Amino acid sequence: MTWSADARRLAQGLLALGLLALVFTRFISGSNAATVAMSFLIVVLLVAATSRLWVAVTTSLAAVLAFNFFFLPPVGTLTIADPQNWIALFALLVVSLVASNLSAVARTRTREAEVRRDELGRLFDLSRDVLLITDGQAANASLAAFIARRFDFEYVAICVQHGPEWAVFEAGSSRLTPDPRELSATLRRIEDGQPPAPGVSAVRYVPLRLGAKPIGLLGVAGRPSESEALDAVAGLAAIAIERAQFLDDRKVAELARQSEALKSALLASLGHDLRTPLTAIRVAASNLQASWPDERERREQSDLILTEVDRLARLFQNILEMARIDAGAVAEDRRWVAPSEIVEAARTSVEPALRGRALQLAVESERLVRLDPRLTAAALSHLFENAAQYSPAGSPIGVDAAITDEGLTISVRDHGPGIPAADLPHVFERFHRGANVRDRRSGTGMGLAIAKGVLAVEHGRISVENCAGDGARFTIVVPAEVK
């Protein structure tokens, strides 16, 4: 409540007393002193119920003086002739002051309860904000911003000590960057059991504790707040810092686990897929050195060696492509091209894998599209390889190309056994190979992951579904301009 509001309440109380005095002296003659005193007391109680103590006391004193001057003989003076009137005047004064004090105390308690309720609501909102913090790198900065916003502080600083250095995360409309020497001195006082000294620029510090150990300081400025509320905010902030650190540790552990799993999968896959072509090359080379093969048999052994060498080259090419995707070294180069050119480029790049198979191509439109034909064809070539590897020999591969509102859409359908429902969510994960083909098909499980990676560079996407009857259909969608 402001001073202007108090002054307005005081003026209203004095005016009400003046009006009552006028009414009882001019219009109601011979009024009983008890009636006048009760009327004045009602005004005092109304003022006490709506304003601070000093206003109620001032109104009480004014009521006593008015009652004495206008209604206690001799009227018109402040002198009291009858000793009994002293008792009545004293009673009015005591009742007025006691009622005013009780009303002020009740109102103060009400305000304190409202403040505590407001602080509890702010703490609850802050606790919900803490649960939303998942990025450990920006956790402390986000926490400082949440505290400043929820508690309307002009300045908030979360100061965490790392050895001799201080990491300070600030938020709010003001910038009162604290001195590291002041922070160290404040923390030493806390560790010695002394209360923290007020900081410069009216910054108040409370300790951030994990258990009994202080790990830093919370500094606030700009809004008065009770010490208990600041301690609660500091405790919640310390929990948030510990939670962010835990999330970081868990993320590091998870990355380490994934890295180990990736290395194991890569080594197992390479060991399996290198052994087969190397064995075939060794056997074919030994046969070529023997004297028994005729010209036709030598040619067959040579073709076998070339096929396995191409297979090895493709394997190492996949490894290089995966490494480039992980390193972000794949760049986009958009050009105008016809859909059939992309399909032909993809077919040519994996021609040995498609030997003996017919591509049933259906191109809805040959309008030119602007995209990266190299990346799109690379992704499509992995789909061709996948379809050839997991479908019966000699079965056709269906290819549908169309231009839609989303861009260029190309679907590849095989006539294999399809994909088990349990494997569908993991088809595009690197090194994933379905349990039903793991022991019966060669391959590293990188092809579809590479296709997804190169399409992501173009902001494209890839999906898969099982077809009715047999086979699976893979669909790629690449955003593109259409001419």
- Which tens digits make up the pLDDT trace of 325-380? 666 767 788 999 999 999 999 998 888 888 888 889 999 888 999 999 988 998 89
Q: What is the pLDDT of residue 383?
A: 92
Q: What is the pLDDT of residue 198?
A: 57
Buried b (16+ CB within 10 A) or exposed e, 109-146: eeeeeeeeeebeebbeebeebbeebeebeebbebbbbb
The arrangement of secondary structure in 253-325, i.e. its CATH architecture, is Orthogonal Bundle (1.10)
Q: Is 50 exceeded by the pLDDT of residue 440?
A: no
Task: State the pairing for strand pair 155-162/472-478.
Answer: unpaired
Higher pLDDT, residue 311 or 2: 311
Of 167, 314, 150, which Cα lies nearest the Cα of 244?
167
Domain residue extents for the chain: 3-112, 133-251, 253-325, 330-482
Q: What is the pLDDT of residue 439?
A: 45
Give Cβ neighbours of residue 74 (< 8 Å, ≥ 6 apart).
Answer: 81
Most confident of 44-58, 150-164, 319-333: 150-164
Buried b (16+ CB within 10 A) or exposed e, 172-198: bebebebeeebbeebbeebeeeeebee
Higher pLDDT, residue 258 or 238: 238
pLDDT average, residue stretch 126-147:
78
Q: Is 80 exceeded by the pLDDT of residue 142?
A: yes
CA distance 166 to 176: 15
Q: Minimum mean pLDDT among 49-53, 134-138, 276-280, 423-427: which range?
A: 134-138
CB 479 within 8 A of CB 460: yes
Q: What is the pLDDT of residue 47?
A: 80
Most confident of 84-88, 186-190, 317-321, 382-386: 382-386
Mean pLDDT computed over every residue of the chain = 79
Helix (H) or strand (E) holding 159: strand 155-162
Q: What is the pLDDT of residue 338?
A: 93
CA distance 378 to 399: 15
Q: What is the pLDDT of residue 438?
A: 47
SS3 270: helix
pLDDT band with cut points at 50, 70 and 90 for residue 436: low
pLDDT average, residue stretch 392-418:
91
Higher pLDDT, residue 25 or 324: 25
SS3 sequence of 305-339: HHHHHHHHHHHHHHHHHHHHHHCCCCCCCCEEECH
pLDDT average, residue stretch 313-322:
69
CA distance 61 to 64: 5
Q: What is the pLDDT of residue 329?
A: 67
Q: Which residues pair with 423 in a beta bridge?
A: none
pLDDT average, residue stretch 261-272:
57
Structure confidence by residue, pLDDT tens digits, 450-475: 888 888 888 999 999 998 878 899 99
Residues of the chain above pLDDT 90, percent: 12
How far lies 456's CA from each of 71, 236, 259, 376, 405, in Å? Answer: 94, 41, 22, 10, 18
Q: Minimum mean pLDDT among 52-56, 62-66, 148-152, 475-479: which range?
A: 52-56
Please tell me the class of the 330-482 domain.
alpha beta
Q: How many CB atoms lie within 10 A of CB 284?
A: 19
Crossing angle of helices 83-132 and 139-151, in 10° steps, is 150
pLDDT band with cut points at 50, 70 and 90 for residue 101: confident
Q: Is 80 exceeded by the pLDDT of residue 152?
A: yes
Structure-block tokens of residue 394: 């000699």
Domains 133-251 and 253-325 share a fold: no
Q: Minimum mean pLDDT among 153-167, 355-369, 379-393: which range?
A: 153-167
Of 388, 306, 392, which Cα lies nearest the Cα of 354?
388
Q: What is the pLDDT of residue 264?
A: 60
Identify the CATH assignment for 133-251 out of 3.30.450.40, 3.40.50.620, 3.40.30.10, 3.50.50.60: 3.30.450.40
CA distance 255 to 248: 10
Structure confidence by residue, pLDDT tens digits, 208-231: 887 777 788 888 888 777 777 788
CA distance 252 to 465: 35
Q: What single letter denotes the amino acid at residue 441?
A: R
pLDDT average, residue stretch 241-264:
73
How far lies 373's CA from each of 268, 340, 379, in Å? Answer: 33, 11, 10
